[in-house]
Structure 1
Amino acid sequence: MNTINPIHKIKFSEEDVRAKYIDPSLRNSNWKDEQVIREYVFTDGRINVIKNKSIRGKVKKADYVLSYKSNIPLAIIEAKKNSLPLSEGMQQGREYAEILDIPFVYTSNGKGFLEFDRSTGVTKEISLDKFPTPEDLLLRYYDAENIPLDKREIIEESYYYMKGAKSPRYYQRIAINRTVETIAKGQDRILLVMATGTGKTYTAFQIIYRLWKSRAKKRILFLADRNILVDQTMTNDFRSFEGIMTKISRDKIGKAYEIYLGLYQSMTGNEEWQQVYKEFGQDFFDLIVIDECHRGSAKENSAWREVLEYFSSATQIGLTATPKETKDVSSSHYFGEPIYTYSLKQGIDDGFLAPYKVIKYVINNDATGFRPYKNQRDKYGNIITDKIFEASDFNKNIVLSDRNKLVAKAIADFMKENNRYMKTIVFCKDIEHAQEMAMNLSNENPDLIKLNDKYVIPITGDNKEGKAQLDNFISPREKYPVIATTSKLLTTGVDAKTCKLIVLDTNIASMTEFKQIIGRGTRVDENNDKTWFTIMDFGESTKLFADPNFDGDPIPDEDFDTYPPLDTDRPEDEISEPTDDKDEDKKKPIENKELKIKKFYVDGVEATIIHRQIQMLDGDGKLKTESYTDFTRKTLKNDFANLDDFLKKWNSADKKNIILQELEKKNIYFAVLKEEVGGEFDEFDIICHLAFDKKPLTKKERVLGVKNRNYLKKYSGLAAEILEILLDRYADEGIKVFEGFDALKLPRFEKYGTAPKILKNFGGKENYLNIMKDISHEIYAGGLNVSR
């Protein structure tokens, strides 16, 4: 007798399909529990800033991720209920597989599997009992990637893992795996581009660990260009190498270690005796990892490049957030094209990096320029050169004291309105400007300076006291310093996780420098309430956000390296402090030929803020200036052509919440809108009001309309009582009370028995849901002509 598979007769939910069909298929194909991750969440959910609140968007989640080992994910499975086609979910699965760099995609509705092989582009159907084994998929992957047989052991080496330690995020895993695989294939120059705050050093550690543990690389050098970077690396990400790790310096050259960390400046110099790297044989290191390789190491005539060329036989990996492509400096020319890029926009979209708000200020002096009257003298008696001084001249060729005081007051006022203890970095034109700004900010906050004189402090290359406070400034545990003024010293290599305010009182033309500065604020620290940050711009720097190069691959241009050549007479920590940006380098300070005055100091020039504009980051990564309600109105009108279009979609939706969830993905949050429009209105009325200028009805008015139309008379007994309660709940909570069965689990319904018992009074689950759908239509029948 022919039998029919029960799955064709019974409706199974997605959860049923997983438990009854997918899980048994995986077990039958020898997939062990530790190789299967169910509900694999791989993003944190974008942080959206609405007014002064941050709201997390939805996380991205794959139903199943199958891995041969934890570091070798091989397949994604998307499960669907059995009433849907076998191909349902394949598009989503392919999208996730591309993001996660996973080679095989499967979908299943319990009747079989549909397989998509990303390496061949072939889709095929397979039966439930023919799902590939872990070994099958691993060998198919190796063959597709042309991994040599004798190198596969390197790829299978696991990550470093210690109980309680973090596991790599998905993009870190991709960067690690691609690097290890590229090395296994024989490539010896590699470039990784990862946005500031995404864990480049941690990624480097895992790459080094796997190559060292597998003995593919035995002596490894990690190069950085600032002491703080080397010291942080040794005590944080690299601490598990203790005992086999050393820091190279001119007075410490040990050759019995396996992991070496070095500061460029301590290994090179103009004199032969300063070139410490030559103490090692040219083939001593077989792997070199270069942090911040967009800097001097990318410049062909740089002394720092000598280190890399000396150890040319070693595999060399460049790490950067900002690759440079200029006439003098090229990251890709030396390392090749990046094998993986994880951008700032991706980091913000995934919720791993903090979004930002920009407040743009225009000061009268900056807009119109300043020209002295005839024979005007500065406060030191020097005759000021007769010319129009532009914004780019201020604090470089001429100091307008009142302008600088105005900037300090604007910063202090903003902090007083929001949080006077938010960690703040103020980027100034030069060291002198940073010192003056610290003084002005102190004068704006005398009460807090009286409590602690380190409330404001300049942290610059020449300020030993300030540099000594750097660790305290970046520590989330330390309250002081709160405000750091600087020129260039804090542009890179400073992990200021709790920095909530970045102030730009300098003109930045270098995209590389701009990206690095913005990166000081992009770290997220939810434990310390840091989910977004503000940028105050008193110049034209933030116009670079609109440049295609800001979050894309660098386009070669006529820029030149903004970083200084090696100067061995300066202390190590100061050597890597950049010079002024490219436009400023082209303009030498104006000099009075007789007195050799390089900078004029002028008091009494009136300064006022003539324009202030607030811009927010939208879902597309662009800055918008409109209000949140204007943004919502525009988005709604893009989604719904007219009122009839909206009403048709609203009424045809089995669950109104699905429409609301789709709008949330576009950064429309009704919890925030209710604060502006009114909490007494539900989402339907808010949409109709904002998008189509319809007068909204309150939830209580809608309930009253239902009752006045005698809608409940068609029901009797217990059902009528329960509907009356649900209508009252709608007046408090909104339309969600009519969707699903959760409302029946509230304490108020306990006297009627369990949810299944209540449902019997409505003729069962399906009939109850139909009644809920009908009452949802009735709710909106008043006030707007809604067809059913």
Structure 2
Amino acid sequence: MTESDTRSKLIDPKLKESNWTENNIVREYFFTDGRKLIGNKRGKRYFVDYLLSFKNTNLAIVEAKADDKDALDGLQQSIEYAKKLKIDFVYATNGLKIFEHSLIEGNGKWIDSYPTPQELFERKFGKIDTKVETTITYPFHLEDGMKPRFYQQIAVQKAIEAIANNKDRVLLTLATGTGKTYIAFQIVYRLFQSKWNKDGSNRRPKILFLADRNILKSQAINQFNSMEKDIVEITGKEIRKRGGKVPTNANVFFAIYQSIAENKKQIENTQEDEEDDVSGYYKQYPKNFFDLIIIDECHRGSANDESSWRDILNHFTSATHLGLTATPKRDDNGDTYKYFGDPIYEYSLKDGINDGFLTPYKVKRVQTNIDEYKFDPNDIITGELKENIVKLEQFEKQVIIPKRTRLIARTILNNINPMDKTIVFCVNQQHASEMKIAIDKYKTIKDNSYCVRVTSDEGEIGRNFLEDFQNNDKDIPTILTSSKMLTTGVDAKNVRNVVLTAPIRSMTEFKQIIGRGTRVFEGKDFFTIIDFVGATNLFYDKEWDDNKDKLKEDIEDIIATDNELDKDKPDTNQNDYELQDNQEDKVSDIESEYEARTSDEKQKNEKVIIDIKGKKLKVINIETTYVGDDGKPLKTNEYLELLIGILGKFYNDEQGLREIWSSPKNRKDLLNKLREMNIDESQLNDLKEIFEAQNSDIYDVLAHISFNLDIKTRSERVIAVESSTFVEKYHNEKAKEFIEFILERYKKDGVKELDEDKLSDLVKLSGFDRSELRQSFGNYNIRDEYFGLQREIYK
């Protein structure tokens, strides 16, 4: 039998005998989208032959082979898929024999028939309380055909199981852009519908969703749209409407902690608020009022014993606390793991990229001849320069070189497409302003809002610009300059460039910033990290995308503590963080916004300003690297070794490469195969920069890498053709002119001008009449000559 016959005639009846109905079976369950490749293409998608589910719980997968194959073929791959899907039972079969592997026991055995759904459910969960079973098996909310991705299902299910089994502190760690708010909604929906609560009574739970930024709270409320009748915001405005009383008539409550925190620790009131008591709203709620508190971006303070989040969490200590984060924090001033325990589920940036749910990235590391400043008496120095050498991390904080800012602005514009949405992370708000002005100086797009500053000082104007930037139907604004405000909470899917002009203080901050570009968007094959400060070296740190087992190790902490950061803060007072009349307008909290707002002239004058004379500032190197399967950028030598290994699969010698490359069809096939292996044309073109061969053909670079041949320029190849007998064989001058026209196009724009489908375009561009041109070639067929010309170019 074929494998299809085996399934329908042998495997399906066996499953039916064990009470597996069609409602319990998904055939060819695809659970990844396939890694994004250049040209809006995708890599291989993972799938299992059968997914077996019962009571809304995925229990087993079945790997099917034809009846004449070994039943164990594919077992190991299925076990790996089961690990990824967090499924406990794997069955390998050829229809005649069945092998069961239990990931719980770590071993397997031959069996005569499949266990029933109820048997497998009990083997997974044991005997459980009816109320717990109702909670952990309640179905997902499905709307408009949108189903949770496989990792979202796992995160929700793991959280539900932990909460239903009375785990008081729960942590989910998922990379930015993987839908943590959607996961939170599914958790709340299922707990709400199943009437889970802390006291086990027959009522719906009271749940508090706690964020630290209004934009995060707003995004969450939008996600909970289907529960609109059951939710309420806790804001100063809402409380004033209720005569100073907090709302209680709902089940799901949303707040930014600034709105409900203790007044004396957090904020000073504006004049408009002084008539109302805004101190400690959360204390109006009984300590046991909430059953569950969800803390979004919990790494930003909840784990800190001294944080304002903790005052609120300590008040509601009887509730279950669920932390959501992309970047758990572990340092001297706060340990996410110490507070919540190890994550019950993790899904990393590396996983998201390889599975196709996040966008891959490439890194451009830019080095200039002013990455360090050495004292020059010819320069004009305003202020007191304490040291003769100024290092990279001191720029903008202590020393400002306007000429350097302008160099960086020009370099940014030279390395992005003009209309690609870009976020530039600066040292502080003043630096963000100066960078915006410098970009305006050199931009080619005249729109006044092409580049804007979005920082907490900008208030509502900045928020409006941010909303327009997030709108994928709007091109303007295109570039945002910011400091800390945009490290989290910016759900802009079409960000194509993330620019780092400020040293990154911690791994946590670095991961959050990188997450600004990872969201998937149609036509966005990758995003680019343009790094002026060496921040991307953090990719190579052992904490990058580490797993929880490594995190358990007592490793040396490389993250700068909040206390160390405080040394760089200018003195300020709480009035610098005024609470707006409408409390939800608060943009960022005092703990995460390291750069305090101040208008103190003395503070400004402490910075040294240097006007460099007689020295031309320039970029001295741009190194481009690509992310490998392990989620880390490949260094140049690693990338070349990878490429040589891949290329060796397609040709053995120079003649083999030439035969492939000189045929448009074979060349296209090779490029498509390389794309499937994560090597795209953009990367191949970047190789030309590595070998300083921008005016050469990719063919020559590949021949150099593979066989150490000299790299020829396209001009040299054209000259060789023009001096050969190939052109002279045509007796009609018009035919010669057309061939020379093609050669000029190739010399100018490269091998893309020689694509198989390009000939008709070239005829139009040449200006020749099609029928006259055909006649000018006499007995020669134009299409054949077009292909023959390519063989001559690479001869």
> Normalising by structure 2, what TM-score?
0.74
- Give the distance between the partners of 1:179 and 1:570, measured in 2 at CA: 37
Amino acid across the alignment from 1:557: D
Cα-to-partner distance string for 1:186-213 (whole Å, 9 max, x where unaligned): 2111111111001111111111111111
- Shift of the 91–398 alpha-carbon distance from structure 1 to 2, 3 Å rule, reads same
TM-superposed deviation, 1:15: 1.3
Residue 245 (structure 1) aligns with:
231
1:141 partnered with 2:136: no
Q: Could you say which residue in structure 1 is the equivalent of 2:723?
A: none
Tell me if the contact between 1:190 and 1:338 (Cα under 8 Å) persists in the aligned partners: yes
Query: How far apart, CA to CA, are the structure 2 residues paired with 1:566 and 1:32?
Result: 66
Q: Which residue of 2 aligns with 1:357?
A: 362
**Which of 370, 373, 377 is matched with 1:369 structurally?**
373
Distance 1:506 1:675, change over 3 A: closer
For residues 414 and 646 of structure 2, the distance between their equivalents in structure 1, rounded to whole angstroms, comes to: 36
What residue number does 1:753 align with? none
Instruction: Please name the residue that 2:516 is paired with.
Output: 520
| Structure 1 residues 409 and 673, CA gap change in structure 2 (3 angstroms) | closer
Which is bigger in relative contact order (C-alpha 8 A, separation at least 6)? 2
Cα distance change on mapping 1:308 and 1:456 into 2, 3 Å: same
Q: Deviations along 1:84-103, whole A, 9 cap, x unmatched? A: 11111211111111100111
Determine the C-alpha separation between the residues in 2 that align with 1:75 and 1:407.
Answer: 54
CA apart distance, 1:270: 3.7
Q: Once the 2 structures are TM-superposed, how far is the Cα of residue 671 of structure 1 from its aligned partner? A: 12
Conserved in 1, the CA contact under 8 Å of 2:624 and 2:686?
no
Query: Per-residue displacement from partner, 1:704-737 (whole Å, max 9, x unpaired)?
Result: xxxxxxxxxxxxxxxxxxxxxxxxxxxx99xxxx
**Match for 2:219: what amino acid?**
Q
1:609 to 586, 594, 619: 619
Write the distance in 2 (CA, Å) between the matches of 1:349 and 1:200. Answer: 19
State the secondary structure of the residue aligned to 1:76.
Answer: strand
1:667 to 675, 678, 702: 678
Aligned partner of 1:544 among 538, 541, 552: 538
2:430 counterpart of 1:399? no
1:448: which partner in 2? 445
Which whole-Å CA distance do the structure 2 matches of 1:615 and 1:670 have between them? Answer: 14
Alignment of structure 1 residues 428-467 onto 2, 5 Å: 428-445=426-443, 447-449=444-446, 452-464=447-459, 465-467=461-463
Contact 1:566 1:575 in 2 (8 A): no
Correspondent of 1:300 among 299, 305, 318: 305
Distance (whole Å) between structure 1 residues aligned to residue 31 and residue 165 of structure 2 = 28
Pairing of 1:751-770 with structure 2 (within 5 A): none
Of residues 220, 223, 236, the one that matches 2:207 is: 220
Paired residue secondary structure (1:274): coil
The residue type equivalent to 1:543 in the other structure is: N
Question: 8 Å contact 1:361–1:536 — kept in the other structure?
Answer: yes
Shift of the alpha carbon at 1:672? 9.2
Cα distance in 2 between the residues matched to 1:425 and 1:303:
30
Contact 2:436 2:453 in 1 (8 A): yes
Match of 2:247 in 1: 254
- The match for 2:353 is 348
Deviation of 1:398 (Å): 1.6
Aligned residue in 1 for 2:789: none
Q: Say yes or no: does 1:634 pair with 2:623.
A: no
2:139 corresponding residue in structure 1 = 158
RMSD: 3.6
Aligned residues of 1:104 and 1:118 also touching (Cα < 8 A): yes
Report what 1:481 is aligned to.
477
AA at the equivalent of 1:263: I
The percentage of aligned residue pairs carrying the same residue is 39
Q: 1:637 to 1:444 in 2, by over 3 A?
A: closer
How many angstroms apart in 2 are the aligned matches of 1:455 and 1:153? 53
Deviations 1:481-515, CA, capped at 9 Å, x for gaps? 10000011101011111000011111113111110
Aligned residue identity for 2:519 = R
Does residue 1:28 correspond to 2:17, yes or no?
A: yes
Aligned match of 2:81: 96
Asked if structure 1 preserves the Cα contact closer than 8 Å seen for 2:472 and 2:494, the reply is: yes
Other structure's SS at 2:229 match = coil
Of 175, 179, 183 in structure 2, the residue corresponding to residue 203 of structure 1 is: 183
> Could you tell me whether the CA contact under 8 Å between 2:300 and 2:592 is conserved in 1?
no
Alignment gaps of 5+ in structure 1? 1-11, 647-658, 678-685, 696-731, 734-788
1:58 matched to 2:69? The reply is: no
Structure 2 SS opposite 1:242: helix
How much has 1:269 moved relative to structure 2? 2.7
CA distance in 2, matches of 1:662, 1:20: 37
Question: Which has the higher mean CA deviation after the structures are superposed, 298-307 or 308-317?
Answer: 298-307
Measured in 2, the distance between the counterparts of 1:641 and 1:313 equals 67
Tell me, in whole angstroms, the C-alpha distance in 2 between the residues paired with 1:660 and 1:358: 22
Pick closer, same or farther for the CA change 1:673–1:504 going to 2, 3 Å. Answer: closer
**Match 2:589 to one of 558, 571, 575:** 575
Question: In the alignment, is the contact (CA less than 8 A) between 1:54 and 1:532 conserved in 2?
Answer: no
Deviation at 1:409, TM superposition (A): 0.6
Distance in 1 between residues matched to 2:672 and 2:389, nearest whole Å = 55
| 8 A Cα contact 2:383 2:606, kept in partner | no
Q: CA deviation at 1:636?
A: 4.0
Superposition pairs for residues 262-411 of structure 1, below 5 Å? 262-271=255-264, 273-366=278-371, 368-373=372-377, 377-378=380-381, 382=383, 384-385=385-386, 387-411=388-412
Residues paired across the two proteins, number: 638
1:682-725 Cα distance to aligned partner (Å, 9 max, x none): xxxx9999757899xxxxxxxxxxxxxxxxxxxxxxxxxxxxxx
Cα distance between partner residues in 1 of 2:525 and 2:709: 36
Deviation at 1:612, TM superposition (A): 1.4
Structure 2 match to 1:708: none
Instruction: Output one character per residue of 1:529-570: Cα deviation in whole Å (capped at 9) or x when no partner.
Output: 223100111112111111111111555626313699994743
Bigger CA drift: 567-576 or 606-615?
567-576
What is residue 751 of structure 1 aligned with on the other side? none
**5+ residue gaps, structure 2:** 198-204, 240-245, 265-276, 580-585, 657-669, 689-700, 711-754, 757-795
CA distance in 2, matches of 1:315, 1:190: 8
The alignment's TM-score, normalised by the length of structure 1, stands at 0.75
Distance 1:694 1:503, change over 3 A: closer
Task: Tell me how far apart the structure 2 counterparts of residues 43 and 373 of structure 1 sit (CA, whole Å).
Answer: 61
Whether the aligned pair in 2 keeps the contact of 1:87 and 1:107 (CA below 8 Å) is: yes
Q: Is the 8 A contact 1:325 1:556 kept in 2?
A: no
- Deviating more after overlay: 226-235 vs 266-275: 266-275
Q: Structure 1 residues 566 and 228 mapped into 2: Cα distance closer, same or farther (>3 Å)? A: farther
Residue 87 of structure 1 aligns with which residue? 72
In structure 2, distance between residues paired with 1:668 and 1:432: 40
Q: 1:76-131, CA deviations, whole angstroms, 9 ceiling, x for partnerless residues?
A: 0111112211111211111111100111111111213211122223422233xx32
Q: Does the aligned pair in 2 maintain the 1:45–1:57 contact within 8 Å?
A: yes
CA contact (8 A) 1:613 1:625 kept: no
TM-fit CA distance, 1:370: 3.1
SS in 2 for 1:266: helix
**Aligned twin of 2:762:** none
- Structure 2 counterpart of 1:411, one-letter code: I
Cα deviation, 1:295-326, whole Å, max 9, x if unaligned, reads 11111011221100100000110011000111
Matched AA of 1:457: V
Deviation digits for residues 242-280 of structure 1, max 9, x if unmatched? Answer: 011011123422111110011011110343842110010
